Amino acid sequence: MTTQQWQLVKELFEAALEREDHTAFLEEACPEDSEVRAEVESLLAAHARDSGFMNQPAGSLLTDRAPVLHTGQHLGNYEIISTLGKGGMGQVYLALDTRLGRKVALKLLPFSNALDASHVQRLEQEARTASALNHPNIVTIHEIGEADSIHFMATEYVDGETLRQRMLNTEFSIRELAGIAVQIASALRAAHQAGIVHRDIKPENIMLRSDGVVKVLDFGLAKGSGNSDTERGLIMGTTAYMSPEQARGEAVDARTDVWSLAVVIYEMINGRVPFTGETHRQVVNQILHNEPPAFESAVPNELKQIVLKALNKDRTQRYDTASTMANDLKSLQEELEVRARLELSNANEAVARSTLPHLPTDTAGHTRRNIFQRHKVFTGIAIIFLVGAVSWAYVAAHRDSNDCGTTNREAYRLYLHGMYLANNRNLADTQKAIETLQQAVDLDPNYAQAWAGLAYAHRTLSLYSPVSTHETYQRSIAAINKALAIDDRLSEAHSALCENKYLYEWDFAGAERECKRAIELDPNSAQAHEIFSRYLMGRGRHNEAIAEIETAIDLEPASRFNHRNYGRALFYARRYREAEEEFKRVLEMDQNFVSTYSYLTSTLVLEGKEAEAYEWFKKLLSYRKVDQETAQVFETAFQTEGWRGIWREWIKRLDTVAGGTFDGALYNAQLGNKDAAFKYLEDVYQQRGIWMTYLRVEPRLDPLRDDPRFQDLLRRVEGR
C-alpha cells in the first residue's frame, strides 16, 4: 500500500477502537477500499495481543526495520549530529557535511522502502522537484545519494521551528500572520511558475527561522501540474488540508495549493482547521459539502475575503495560482504596515514628516483602492508618498531590532532616509542621498551599511549626472572597500560590488558570484534580489530575472523602483503587454516617478500603440517641465511623421551635447540609421557606459543585430 493508505489505516484503526461495533463502523467508513479495510481488521484483531502497536509513529507502519544512525556515525560524507525527527517517508537527522563544513538535514528511507523502487523514485522525485526551484522561501536540496545500502537526501538545514510548533505556543498578530502567508504564497508562486504543485501544504511542512524567513519543505508529493497527478480513488496529501478535487482523487493543479494555504491561514486565525470530523470520511464529507465556520477572531474583512475566495469549492472561482493570491496578501500586508505607522505617536509622526517635508497634513477624501487590484493600495497621494517613505524602514523592520548596524540612532535615520532618496532614481534626490549617507558615516565611521549605501548612491549617480562613469565607479568602489573592511559578511556590500562588477568592470562571472554571495548572506534582502535581477536581465536570463524581482517585491512591496524594474524585466523578455500594465501601475503609485514614462512609451511603440504612446510622452514632457515652444516642435513632428519625427527631434538635441549617448543609438537604430547608431554605441563603449551591459537584450537595438559590427561590439563588452 501507499504511504497515504497506511496513514488512512492508522486513522481508521484509532477511530474504530473508540466504538463497540467495529464491523458497522468499517462498513460506513471504508466500504469501497477492501485493501485498507482488510488491514484495519487485521490490526484490530492483533490489538488484543499488543495494544501499544498503533502508538508507534506513522512511519513505522511502513517497515519493520528502519535504519538507525547515532551521533558521530558517518554516512558517506555526512557525520550524524543528532535526530531531527521522523517523516512519513523516513528518519531525518541533523548532520555535518564534512566536505563543505555545513550543517544539513539528512532524510533517510527505511530499509524496506529502499528495496521498493517506487519509494526510491519518490525520494528522487522530491529531490528533482525541489532542486528545480530556486527561491529563498523553498528549502534547498543539496544532494541525493546512497551509502551503505541506505538511500538519503541532504537538504538545507533550517534552524527554527515548524509552523505547527509555533501555532501551539503563540498567538499571531494579523501583521505576523500576513507576513508568514505572503512568504508561503511567494514560494508556491515560484513552484507554480515552474509547473509544480506541492499538494501537501500544512503547518508541518512550513518552517519558521528565527530571523522571520519562512521555508516550505517536503516536495515529496509534488508533481508537474501538466501530468496525470492522481489515479482515481488514490488520495494524496493530508486530509484536513485537501481541496475538494484532491479529496475526490481527481487531477489537481495550482488551485489545490491555494486551497491548502487558505486552510493554514484559517487555522492560524481560529486555532483549528475549518473542516473537522472523527474519521477521514467525515472530514472529506465536510470538505465536499460544508462551508467553513465563521471566523472566531476579529480580523480585517480583506483577509476574510482572501481566505474565503481561496476556499471556494468551485476551483474556477478560486485564485488561479498562488501568484494572484500572493498579490492580495501583499497588498493587505502593505496596508497593515501603513496603518501601523499612521498610529505612531505624535513624536514619531514628526520624524516621519521631517523625512517628507511636503507631506500633506489633510488626507481626508482619499480612499483606499480595491485590495484585489494587484499592487494598488491607495489613491490618496499623501498615503502613496507615506508608503514610499517607509519602504526602507519596512526592510529594516524585518531585521532583528538590535541589528541596525549602528548604535547611533541619528546615523540610522540618515541611512534610511538616504536609501529612500537613492531609490527615487533622479538626479536631485540621488545627490541629496549621497549627502545624507555621507552624514551617516561621518556620525559613525564604522557603520558598514551606510558605507554600502553610499556606494549604491554613487553608482546610481552615473545614470543622471555629467560626472564620468569612471569617477562614480571609483567613489563607489572606495565606499565598498570601507564597508567590507568593517564587515566582509555584509550583504549590502556584496550587492554593491556585484553592481559595480557588471555595470562598469563588465566582469559578469564575478558579478554573479557577488550577487549570489549577497543573497546567501541575507536571503531576506530586497536589494540583493533586485540587483541580481538587473544583472540577469542583461544576461538574457529572463525567467530568472523575473523570479528575482518578484522576490524583491515580496520583501519590499512598497518600492516603486522594484515595481518599475519588474516592468523592465518583462520589457526585455519581450512580454510587452505585461510590461505595459506594470509600468502603468507604477505611475498610479507615483505619477512623478519620471523614468517610468520612457519605458512605458517605448513599450507602447513596440506594441504598435503609437497614438497612446504619444499621450504618455506628452505627460513626460510636462513632468520634465519642457517649455511650450519645444513641446510644440514635438507635436508638429508627431503629426507629420509619427514617432519617427519624435526620434529625429530628440537626436537634434542630443547632438548638441558633448559625447555620445545610448539614447542616440536607440533612436538612430529605430530610424534605420545604422552608421549613426554604431557611432553612438562606440562612444558609449569608450566611456564604459552602463547601458552597454544590456546590448544582448535591448529590443530597440534589434534593427542592428544582423550587422557584424553589432556582434563585434557585443564580443568586446562580454569579453568573448
Lowest mean pLDDT among 64-73, 195-204, 215-224, 634-643: 215-224
Lowest mean pLDDT among 6-20, 217-231, 448-462, 664-678: 217-231
- Comparing CA positions, the residue from 523, 211, 181 lying closest to residue 397 is 211
Q: How many whole angstroms separate alpha carbon 309 and alpha carbon 317?
A: 7
Distances from the Cα of 269 to the Cα of 265, 555, 618, angstroms? 6, 23, 49
Residue-wise pLDDT for 486-509, tens only, equals 999 999 999 999 999 999 999 999
652 strand-pairing partners: none
Q: Which three cell numbers stand for residue 645?
A: 519625427
Contact 187, 247 (CB under 8 A): no
- Residue 58 pLDDT: 34
Residue-wise pLDDT for 184-211, tens only, equals 998 998 888 878 888 889 998 999 987 7
Detail the DSSP E strand segments found in 340-476: none
Domain spans, the chain:
3-55, 74-156, 160-333, 625-718
- Residue 38 pLDDT: 76
Residue 151 gets the label, from left (phi > 0), alpha (psi -120 to 50) or beta, of beta
Contact 71, 112 (CB under 8 A): no
Q: How confident is the model at residue 338 (pLDDT cuts 50, 70, 90)?
A: low
- Residue 378 pLDDT: 33
- Residue 403 pLDDT: 56
- Residue 2 pLDDT: 59
Residue-wise pLDDT for 352-400, tens only, equals 444 443 333 343 332 222 333 333 333 333 333 444 444 444 344 444 4
pLDDT for 639 beyond 90 = yes
Q: How many whole angstroms separate alpha carbon 500 and alpha carbon 693?
A: 11
Residue-wise pLDDT for 515-547, tens only, equals 999 999 999 999 999 999 999 999 999 999 999
- Residue 8 pLDDT: 73
DSSP-derived secondary structure letter, 105 = E
Q: Which residue has the higher pLDDT, 91 or 90?
A: 91
- Residue 624 pLDDT: 79
- Comparing CA positions, the residue from 298, 272, 301, 299 lying closest to residue 286 is 272
Q: Which residue has the higher pLDDT, 120 or 686?
A: 686
Q: How many whole angstroms separate alpha carbon 163 and alpha carbon 208?
A: 6
Place of cell 530628440: 650
Residue-wise pLDDT for 564-587, tens only, equals 999 999 999 999 999 999 999 899
- Residue 49 pLDDT: 40
Q: How confident is the model at residue 33 (pLDDT cuts 50, 70, 90)?
A: low
| Domain 74-156: CATH class, spelled out | alpha beta
Q: How many whole angstroms separate alpha carbon 182 and alpha carbon 322?
A: 10
Q: How many residues does the chain have?
A: 720
Contact 129, 222 (CB under 8 A): yes
- Residue 107 pLDDT: 83
DSSP-derived secondary structure letter, 30 = -
Angle, CA of 46, 47 and 52, to the nearest 5°: 120
- Comparing CA positions, the residue from 207, 205, 206, 210 lying closest to residue 221 is 205
Residue-wise pLDDT for 592-614, tens only, equals 888 899 999 999 999 999 999 99
User: In the CATH scheme, what architecture does the domain 160-333 have?
Assistant: Orthogonal Bundle (1.10)
The mean pLDDT value for 296-318 works out to: 90
Q: What is the CA radius of gyration of the chain?
A: 29
The mean pLDDT value for 110-139 works out to: 64
Q: How many whole angstroms separate alpha carbon 539 and alpha carbon 11?
A: 53
- Residue 4 pLDDT: 60
Q: What is the pTM of this model?
A: 0.52
Q: At what angle do helices 427-443 and 448-461 cross, to 10 degrees?
A: 160
DSSP assignments along 578-632, one per residue? HHHHHHHHHHHH-TT-THHHHHHHHHHHHTT-HHHHHHHHHHHHHHTT--HHHHH
- Residue 354 pLDDT: 47
Q: Which residue has the higher pLDDT, 194 or 233?
A: 194
Q: How confident is the model at residue 563 (pLDDT cuts 50, 70, 90)?
A: very high
pLDDT for 228 beyond 90 = no
How many Cβ atoms are within 10 Å of 226's Cβ, its own excluded?
Answer: 10
Query: Percent of the chain beyond pLDDT 70?
Result: 76
